[in-house]
Structure 1
Amino acid sequence: MLTLAQRTIPAALAALGLALALPAHAQEAATPAATPAATPDWSFPSSLSLTSDYIFRGQSQTWGKPALQYGIEADHSSGFYAGFFASNVSDHWLPGASVETDLFTGYRNTIADTVGYDLGVIYYAYPGGNWKNSSFTGYNDPNELNTAEAFISLSYKGLSFKTGRALTEYFGWSTNNSPVGGGFAGDSTAGVTGSTRGSYFYELNGSVDVAEGWNLNGQLGRQIIANATGLDITYYKLGVTHSFADGWSASLAYYGSNEPDAYKGFLSLADTTSASNIAKDKTVVTLSKAF
């Protein structure tokens, strides 16, 4: 009886001889087709931007100055994602803060391949930011600026509707640091009357490609401050973005708001004397690189 090795070796030699005898095209036909590379489960898109002003819901976060911003996401094919965003900010508006660092996570997917949805939570963090750093005596009890917010977004083609609710106080605003009758120089009747937890926003965003590499985009939203008077703000944006090769893009956008009096002539929380119209209309230029 032949052993396993005795049976296997001649068979292998025969197969080798057959392969050598076949024409090249026959050898290729006999070789199994290569399996296509599987799509990775994870992707990590990121971007770096330089903008002439950092506008957040109608209000400048940099006292009208430029901002350098970086963002990165970890996206899973299932729809789960998590990310990080950072930007410089101004302590004139955010006491004690010079940097904003956001952490966010959520789940996004589609319904019947037409309606998209996004459920998530974001944590806005300001290292060193605290109302105790306000230069206004009597309006500087310790209170962190850090804010958590849950949100939901629905989209269809180029339109999306987004709304969110603060799970904490709204950037630390309270009856101590932002009260009626002293918190806002532009309007002495405006201010916080209770806990700002539960503040919410809603906004409509639109985007349409009008030519190769050109996109028109807009936004209309409203921020409601819980237990406050004269502080709610309606904001909007109209912009155009041009995409270049290698991930570069440039945008020009006009930001505006109903500019509540409370945000006019806002006195600096860093020195109590400098003033700025926090919510004034303005044009912003941004240059970005996607990776």
Structure 2
Amino acid sequence: MKTQGKRVAVIAALAVALCAGSAQAQVQVSGNATLTSDYVWRGSTQSDGDPAAQAGVKVSSHGWYASGWGSNVSFKPDNGAHTEFDLVAGWSGALATDWNVDVNLTRYLYPGTGRRLDWTEGSATLSWRQYAWLQVAHSSDALAGGHRGTYGLLGARLPLGQKLRLEAAVGHYWLDAAQGPDYTHGQLSAIATLTPTWELRATVHDTDNAARRLFPGAAGGRFELALQGSF
């Protein structure tokens, strides 16, 4: 709990530092909103297959940023979690021509659960020209299970004209044996641009049998339809 407290303090300190410098540096504020038929995260539903409403806001300056994001959630059996809030602090920028990196710290919060489900994860994402990306994330308390876990995701994007693109990704979660088996998941999306700020995304998700054993009833083949907006 002391380690988690320090991590939360780091996130808060970065956010405060960013806001404190707003008077002297150009600050950008952006946001997003999503209506989805199923909130699927790393291969398993977080809303018990039901629709979810999601929204987030991001404040950034000179590569540094802090953001907050929220969604309704529902788990079976009911563990008291009905809302998820993610607090993120990090930095993103160019490493070289065509190459970018994003490094951040995320705190997952589930109000009403007495902090039983809250946990923290560090993540780094390397991307190439918006066409491919590799993410590696690690936590000493993965999924609030009290054990270490490392997650890797490899993704690719294929434009099909001005208003349509395909995205595919494969992820693998290495979990401590005391918590559960390692598992793999994949997803394929078709995204249509409706307006400059709105997109319609159709995604097919699937997982291996290890995920089905670890998250019975929540993992496996799933279809998700989402309307996403940004401002």
TM bin, normalised by shorter chain, reads 0.7 to 0.9
Return the alpha-carbon distance in structure 2 between the equivalents of residues 207 and 46 of structure 1. 22
The reply to whether residue 69 of structure 1 matches residue 41 of structure 2 is: no
- Is 88-97 or 147-156 further displaced after alignment? 88-97
Whether contact under 8 Å (2:197, 2:229) holds in the other structure is yes
Higher strand proportion, which one? Answer: 2
Task: Give the counterpart letter for 2:56 in structure 1.
Answer: G
Amino acid at match of 1:210: L
Q: Provide the residue aligned with 1:208 in structure 2.
A: 158
Partner amino acid, structure 1, of 2:93: N
CA contact 2:180–2:214 (8 Å) conserved in 1: no
Change (3 A) 1:88 1:228: same
Partner of 1:258: 208
State the one-letter code of the partner of 1:262. Answer: R
Q: Which runs of 5+ in 1 are unaligned?
A: 1-39, 131-142, 174-194, 267-276
% same residue: 23
The list of structure 1 runs, each at least 4 consecutive aligned residues, that deviate by more than 3 angstroms after superposition, is none
Match of 1:46 in 2: 31
Q: State the one-letter code of the partner of 1:60.
A: T
Which runs of 5 or more residues in structure 2 are unaligned? Answer: 1-24
Q: Check the 8 A contact 1:243/1:249 in 2, yes or no.
A: yes
Distance 1:55 1:66 in 2: 10
Deviation at 1:229, TM superposition (A): 6.3
Aligned pairs, number: 205
| TM-score (structure 2 length as normaliser) | 0.83
Map of 1:111-122 to 2, 5 A cutoff?
A: 111-122=95-106
Going from structure 1 to structure 2, the CA distance change for 1:41 and 1:49 (only over 3 Å counts) comes to same
Q: What's the counterpart of residue 135 of structure 2?
A: 162
Normalised TM-score (structure 1):
0.66
Q: Is the 8 A contact 1:74 1:81 kept in 2?
A: yes
Measured after TM superposition, the shift of residue 91 of structure 1 is: 3.8
Q: Does the 8 Å contact 1:263/1:278 carry over to 2?
A: no
1:85 to 43, 57, 69: 69
Counterpart amino acid of 1:171? Answer: L
Distance, in Å, in 2 between the alignment partners of 1:236 and 1:145 is 25
The match for 1:100 among 60, 63, 84 is 84
Larger-gyration structure (1/2): 1
1:106-185 alignment runs, 5 A limit:
106-130=90-114, 144-157=116-129, 158-167=131-140, 169-173=141-145
Quote the Cα distance in structure 1 between the aligned partners of 2:144 and 2:196: 41
